[in-house]
A and B are shown apart, each in its own frame.
Chain A
């Protein structure tokens, strides 16, 4: 199985900051990397699919980059509503696997 490793596991940042979350795959997944946001008690929602494609309705302050094994989610101009846990997920090969999550606190 492909292992997905996210870092950091948690972070705290201020409104207006730029935040970067990284995700590393244990083997190449080309660009089959998706990012999700989950708020407490809610189902996850997709932010970005296939590395850099912003899902319809997601604010443009979210962006994704990377290829192969190393990927990044960037949140620019951090907002209070961005407090959540963020997960990466590979959809290159079954079984799909998720990173362990990054908890983002907005101060």
Chain B
């Protein structure tokens, strides 16, 4: 059974950093491409980053230069390193398997506030 479990969210001050993890089971992260998507409170969905099986990465303009997507093939885990966090980054962050985002994690809440 395919499962994705995010962790690492929490309260952080503006300018701070967090690293989100997405532990996968039932499939191999390195053989698929994977995305991070976020949803601000009461708002719609925003795609923010993608990593292809070959390792190429892509980012939304809103996070480019601040966020880094990566994976650990041995741990079968996807990561999102978030630096220089802003209040507008407050959201539930989801990881999802591609193509077509066919499996999603339960989400982890990131709250950027002083």
Chain A residues near B35 (CB-CB < 8 A): 96
Residues of chain A from 77 to 107 with CB closer than 8 A to chain B in the complex: 87, 89, 91, 94-101
* CB within 8 Å for A98 and B46 given contacts A43-B94, A50-B100: yes
Q: How many residues of A contact B (CB 8 A)?
A: 22
Interface residues of chain B: helix, strand, loop or mixed (majority): loop
Would A46 and B47 be within 8 Å (CB), given that A94-B58, A95-B61 are in contact?
Answer: no
CB-based A-B contact count at 8 angstroms: 51
Q: Is the CB of A46 within 8 A of B61?
A: no
| Residue of B45, B46, B100, B105 touching A49 (CB-CB under 8 A) | B100
A72 at the interface (CB under 8 A from B): no
Say yes or no: is B11 at the interface (Cβ < 8 Å to chain A): no
Quick one: closest B residue to A94, CB to CB?
B58
Complex Cα distance, B44 from A1, in Å, reads 17
Chain A residues with CB under 8 Å of B106's CB are 43
At the interface, yes or no: A20 with Cβ under 8 Å from chain B? no
A55, B44: Cβ atoms closer than 8 Å: no
> Shortest 10 CB-CB distances between A and B: which pairs?
A49-B100, A96-B47, A43-B104, A94-B58, A98-B45, A101-B44, A95-B60, A34-B100, A100-B44, A46-B102
Residues of chain B having any CB pair with chain A under 8 Å: 35, 44-47, 50, 58-61, 94, 98-102, 104-107
Contact sample, A vs B, 11 pairs, CB 8 Å cutoff: A34-B100, A34-B101, A36-B101, A38-B45, A44-B101, A89-B45, A94-B58, A95-B61, A96-B50, A101-B44, A101-B45
